[in-house]
Amino acid sequence: MGTAVLKSAVKKSAIGLALLTLMPAAALADKTDDIVNNGLARQKSGAASQKRIDDISEKTERTVAQYHQQRKNVEVLKKFNDRMRRTLEAQQVAMQKLERSIEDASLIERQIVPLMLSMIDGLEKFIAADIPFKLSERRDRVSRIKGYLTNANISAAERFRQVLEAYSIESSYGQAIDVFVEELELANGPLTVNILQVGRVGLYYLTTDGQQAGYWDQADKAWKDLDSSHNAGIAQAIRMYEGKEDRDLMRLPIKAPEAI
């Protein structure tokens, strides 16, 4: 009986000690959780504060960048306005000069039109007196320019350019060698031949079969036959022009100039 009571007392004592031991640990755990939770809360609060700071900093940087950009834009606009002002001033001066030029041009046009008419008439007479090569082309050019001279829709400058170009083309003929096909009115009737033009020094023809040749006699204003001994020389000159034979001296009959 006594032993049982003793064991029961010892057991109760052990349980009491265990409870005493457990109670501080639980309280400590609660306290630790509170500390951790408080730390996490402060951390979250600090992170939120840092984010707000970062946002404010970023907005500030954007505002400063926009301010600098606007300053640059203002400077660019000031320079642009200054340049436009100078341009407008220069245009006003140019317009005044242009008005004076228009007045002068009207006077010049009244003076230059008779000159152009005289020039194109002179060119037409020159072609009629010249050796007869490419007559259709040359006469058509003169006729076309005559039409330009009476066309009010074409500026005086363009009309004058056309006249000068016609003179330039006619001048170039005197320094050129050319070969082309034409139909000539010969003594025996019309005949299609190869024409060899050597500047304004000589104008020759050779039939397509190479059997008949002739030249233009400027003094008599007529085509005349050549001795068959000249056929080879004219044929060779034509081949040289066409690139079918190496360049060499042209053996052509040239009428000696008459003494003045």
- pLDDT 10s per residue in the chain (260 long)? 455 544 555 455 555 444 445 445 556 566 676 776 777 777 777 777 788 888 888 888 888 888 888 888 888 878 878 887 888 788 778 877 766 776 666 667 777 888 899 999 999 999 999 999 999 999 999 999 999 988 888 888 899 899 999 999 999 998 889 999 999 888 778 889 999 999 999 999 999 888 999 999 998 899 999 999 999 999 999 999 988 888 888 888 887 655 44
In sequence order, the 6+-apart residues with CB closer than 8 A to the CB of 113 are 149, 156
CA 201 to chain centre: 43
Please tell me the predicted confidence (pLDDT) of residue 49.
Answer: 77
